[in-house]
Structure 1
Amino acid sequence: MMKVLVAESNEQNRNQLVQYLEDEQIHVLTANDGQEALEVWSNEYPKIIIMDVDSPDINGYSLIEEIRRRELDHTYIIVTTSDEDVILGRSFDVGADDFLSVPIRKTELIYRIKASEKVLSNQENQTVIYALAQLTETRDVETGKHLERIGLYAKVIATELNENPQYGSLISSQFIHHLSLSAVLHDIGKVGIEDAILRKTGIYTQEERKIMQAHTIIGANTIDKVADKYPFMGFLKMASEIARYHHEKWDGSGYPEGLIGEAIPLSARIVALADVFDALITERYYKPKYSFEESKKIILESSGSHFDPIIVEAFLKQEEAFKEIAAIE
């Protein structure tokens, strides 16, 4: 259960906050002043603090700064105030995340708590994603900023497709958010491929190619195991789709299942183009770097065979954004 620390020097406000939170079955810790708040936070590590800035012993702004200096994981800090103009600017400058108006209304309090839980959940999701993605980086020396660029390319394409009558109904803000997170896990399965094959510079034998292609299945199975343990992380379903299917081709000549056209999940079709484009414009140990125009030409020539033609159109409409992302080193 998530812990919430109520650090209020005003007893009436403190008791009211505690009552409202306990009504919602929230585990509440309390502190009467800044020093006690710092001690409780240091010992209990609550993820959320609701506090005033008028503590008689430790100035509230100093307390926020001290927490920010010491914390290893982000603590979501909500300041209570009856004078927004005076307090809010400085509070946010020193590290506060949100505010709660005084007199306190239960409805507002609960919505603030729910909002903070979403922010903290997103931060935890990103931590899991990049921890897994780093596994790929330790095996594939060419990854580098590739992961960051893939996520950005995918977000640009999905945002453009949202304006397309055919695909707009399939793309929500949540889809775009999940896609930008999940795309970085597309090659997580490479952790299961031996270095002799993963880093080979020559042409693969038929058997080696089969082993290398298995990274799609390894990746999806790895993510599925994480998803089984953490089912509330909804983005992992999309991450599994991307890992498994981002090497499928529109004409059915891809792998691992030879899916055709719209049978390939939309998320994987988007990442397929983003992945190939980034590989083209980047120098790899097995190929030179191509120019943007050369890479664009190859993408266009592959429309309808490798790539979904509508996704290629979205790429063309956003080529300036692709150029900016491609410059990230």
Structure 2
Amino acid sequence: MKVLVAESNQKHRDLLVQYLEEEQIQVLTAADGQKALEVWSNEDPKIIIMDINMPDMDGFSIIEEIRRRELDHTYIIVATEHEEVILGRSFDVGADDFISVPIRKTELIYRIKASEKVISNQENQTVIYALAQLTETRDIETGRHLERIGMYTKVIATELKNHPIYKEHVTSQFINHLTLSSVLHDIGKVGIEDAVLRKKGIYTDEERKTMQAHTIIGASTIDKVADKYPFMGFLKMASEIARYHHEKWDGTGYPEGLKGEDIPLSARIVAIADVFDALISERYYKPKYSFEESKRIILESSGKHFDPVIVEAFLKHEAEFYAIAHLD
């Protein structure tokens, strides 16, 4: 687990790094507020030890900005002398814990272990609660399909991280959460009856509406989990993906007919990964297409079904898509 030491005093910073590295903990550092936000955004540390008196941007402002932007909860420990005003404001803006200055190694390690336990418990509770939701329905997807979707989305998002349009939006944290969230894109299908879900022929209008409802069912299910565990911010992205991954760039998709950049970027990325995997896979309602045929369909859908920039990212990495598609 990564720990960011955001400390302006070099002597204090070096000592904290020494203490943590002696415990085999991966440490990131920042000496000012802007650098702290940059490292947090790019490296996605789960724990921050925060100096309140940071140059450029004080610790209070950094905490507020992190809480505004985070997708998942970052555990923040404020390092300060025991002053009630500082402690009170720290917790008001969103700090989780504090440690007294000067810092003793024993206390520091105990604080880190306690924070790791909190993070682990939150993650385990989320998984357990989600599984509990699924016990009332049934899962129809194969593990390999979901695994491939996660891999495809990571390839695309990593490419977009360097694109001038999306590079500020697609951070390391965004990529991590997208890879995790993407596997929940069709979770709503577990609430669709087999007579519709597995039908091989053409849907009636009523059956089509029933099938399309899996987007709403999925988002609603994830929202229930998110309400119970608000610190698990990646669930917001998962809900977006579940609801909007069948929207189309030209506005002809469902459930809301969103168009262009009104569709969340996460859903636009998953849309192309999901369609591509469906094309190259054999399904009960269709044979599998060749890689070249699948690629042709994706290209023809650029600007119609898919964001053209994301199609370009797909093309740049078609060799990786080919390798993932042919995993045993």
With normalisation by structure 1, the TM-score equals 0.63
Matched residue, 1:149: 148
Asked if 1 retains the 8 angstrom alpha-carbon contact of 2:149 and 2:277, the reply is yes
Q: How does 1:1-329 map to 2 (within 5 A)?
A: 105-106=105-106, 108-110=108-110, 112-113=112-113, 116-117=116-117, 120=120, 124=124, 127-128=127-128, 131=131, 138-140=138-140, 143-329=142-328
Asked if 1 retains the 8 angstrom alpha-carbon contact of 2:188 and 2:219, the reply is yes
SS of 1:170's equivalent? coil
| CA-CA distance at 1:236 after TM superposition | 0.6
Q: Distance in 1 between matches of 2:137 and 2:157?
A: 25
Give the gaps of 5 or more residues in structure 1.
1-103
Q: Distance in 2 between matches of 1:255 and 1:159?
A: 27
The amino acid across from 1:189 in the alignment is G
- 1:149/1:126 CA distance change after superposition, 3 Å: farther
- Identical residues among aligned pairs (%): 68
Q: Distance in 2 between matches of 1:130 and 1:225?
A: 9
| CA-CA distance at 1:225 after TM superposition | 0.8
Matched residue, 1:72: none
Asked if 2 retains the 8 angstrom alpha-carbon contact of 1:136 and 1:187, the reply is no
The amino acid across from 2:280 in the alignment is I
| CA-CA distance at 1:135 after TM superposition | 6.5
The amino acid across from 1:224 in the alignment is D
Q: Distance in 2 between matches of 1:126 and 1:183?
A: 16
Q: Distance in 1 between matches of 2:251 and 2:300?
A: 16
Decide which structure has the larger Cα Rg and report it.
Answer: 1
Q: Distance in 2 between matches of 1:132 and 1:159?
A: 33
- 1:110/1:323 CA distance change after superposition, 3 Å: farther
Asked if 2 retains the 8 angstrom alpha-carbon contact of 1:129 and 1:182, the reply is no
The amino acid across from 2:191 in the alignment is G
| CA-CA distance at 1:131 after TM superposition | 3.5
- 1:128/1:159 CA distance change after superposition, 3 Å: farther
SS of 1:203's equivalent? coil
Q: Distance in 2 between matches of 1:269 and 1:136?
A: 29
| CA-CA distance at 1:122 after TM superposition | 8.0
The amino acid across from 1:294 in the alignment is E
The amino acid across from 1:194 in the alignment is E
Give the gaps of 5 or more residues in structure 2.
1-103
| CA-CA distance at 1:144 after TM superposition | 3.7
The amino acid across from 1:306 in the alignment is H
Q: Distance in 2 between matches of 1:169 and 1:313?
A: 18
The amino acid across from 2:202 in the alignment is I
- 1:274/1:118 CA distance change after superposition, 3 Å: farther
With normalisation by structure 2, the TM-score equals 0.63
Asked if 2 retains the 8 angstrom alpha-carbon contact of 1:133 and 1:185, the reply is no
Asked if 1 retains the 8 angstrom alpha-carbon contact of 2:122 and 2:229, the reply is no
- 1:235/1:225 CA distance change after superposition, 3 Å: same
- 1:114/1:169 CA distance change after superposition, 3 Å: farther
| CA-CA distance at 1:138 after TM superposition | 3.9
Matched residue, 1:54: none
The amino acid across from 2:277 in the alignment is D
| CA-CA distance at 1:269 after TM superposition | 0.3
| CA-CA distance at 1:326 after TM superposition | 1.1
Q: How many residues align?
A: 225
Q: Distance in 2 between matches of 1:156 and 1:118?
A: 31
- 1:109/1:162 CA distance change after superposition, 3 Å: same
Comparing 284-293 with 241-250, greater Cα deviation is found at 284-293
CA-based RMSD of the aligned residues comes to: 2.5
The amino acid across from 1:248 in the alignment is E
Asked if 1 retains the 8 angstrom alpha-carbon contact of 2:216 and 2:242, the reply is yes
| CA-CA distance at 1:113 after TM superposition | 2.1
Matched residue, 1:7: none
| CA-CA distance at 1:152 after TM superposition | 1.1
Q: Distance in 2 between matches of 1:229 and 1:312?
A: 36
- 1:192/1:307 CA distance change after superposition, 3 Å: same
Deviation digits for residues 178-209 of structure 1 (CA, Å, limit 9, x no counterpart): 11111111011111111100010110001100
| CA-CA distance at 1:166 after TM superposition | 0.5
- 1:163/1:110 CA distance change after superposition, 3 Å: farther
| CA-CA distance at 1:143 after TM superposition | 3.1
| CA-CA distance at 1:133 after TM superposition | 9.9
